[in-house]
Amino acid sequence: MEALVEHESPKAARILAVAGELVLKRGAKGVSIAEIAEKAHVGKGTIYLYWATKEDLVLGLCARDFLAEIDGFIVAFTEDPGVVVPRRFCAMLQQSARDHHFIRAIQYGDTDLLGVLTEHPNAQDLLSRFGYGAMLRVVLPVWRAHGMARTDWSVQDQAYALQAVLAGFVELDGAANPSDVSSPEVLAATVDALLGSSSAEQHDVEAVAAEGLRLLDEARTAVLATIASTRARQGQQ
């Protein structure tokens, strides 16, 4: 598997760090390649060795956010298989929306941060394959097969309802005047009410964690391929 360019090049690592900081402060539209180069202490031409356009650079940041999220899930599933239980997994997704601003921007169409890039085919591909709705559609059949979710309605409807709940909690998390209610606890109770009481035993939890790790490994490979696709051809040589 191709290594991330920032692991091979300190200049590329600085470019990514500076670009991420500037885009989060002012949005993609308010940042230029010239400013990124100046603050990263490189020439503009150096950036173009790795990314052909500013759009590719920003999309590379988005893909790296998905990679960081996936890597976080892999660590969590490995250290504590119990996090695969629906109430805990959904809490992780909620926390992910707080921690990964580029994922959240794609997920909820934040044009202030990403501008027209929210509709870019690469961004939409990331969303359709690794967004919260996609994750829930993949994991729900596994939960149902191991007694962690009710099976008296369709996976599609169940996933839609769960995604709507998660989206509502994430939106309220970002409100200017958040409630004093403990959001993680309320979300956990809501997920329990929606999916029903669990009949899963320890071997079910371990089986779901093992399947989750397999799926995450596949997702990681796919995201790395997306990151490679954002690199300029010269930077791959």
- The tens digit of pLDDT for each residue in 128-153 reads 999 999 999 999 999 999 999 999 99
**How far is it, in rounded angstroms, from Cα 181 to Cα 172?**
11
* Inside any domain, residue 58: no
| Residue, of 204 and 183, whose pLDDT is higher | 204
Whole-number pLDDT of residue 230: 85
pLDDT at 3 over 80: no
**How far is it, in rounded angstroms, from Cα 32 to Cα 57?**
11
- Average pLDDT of every residue of the chain: 91
Whole-number pLDDT of residue 157: 93
- 83-94 pLDDT per residue, tens: 999 999 999 999
* Inside any domain, residue 48: no
* Inside any domain, residue 23: no
How many folded domains does the chain comprise? 1
Q: Give the Cβ contact number of residue 75 at 10 Å.
A: 10
Whole-number pLDDT of residue 1: 46
* Inside any domain, residue 199: yes
* Inside any domain, residue 1: no
* Inside any domain, residue 25: no
Q: Which domain range does residue 70 map to?
A: 64-229
Question: Cα angle at 71 between 110 and 228, to 5 degrees?
Answer: 70
> Of all residues in the chain, what percent carry a pLDDT higher than 70?
93
Contact by Cβ (8 Å): 172, 178: yes
Half-sphere exposure of residue 101: CA atoms within 13 angstroms, side-chain side: 15
* Inside any domain, residue 200: yes
Q: Give the Cβ contact number of residue 136 at 10 Å.
A: 22
Contact by Cβ (8 Å): 141, 155: yes
* Inside any domain, residue 95: yes
Rounded mean pLDDT of 214-234? 88
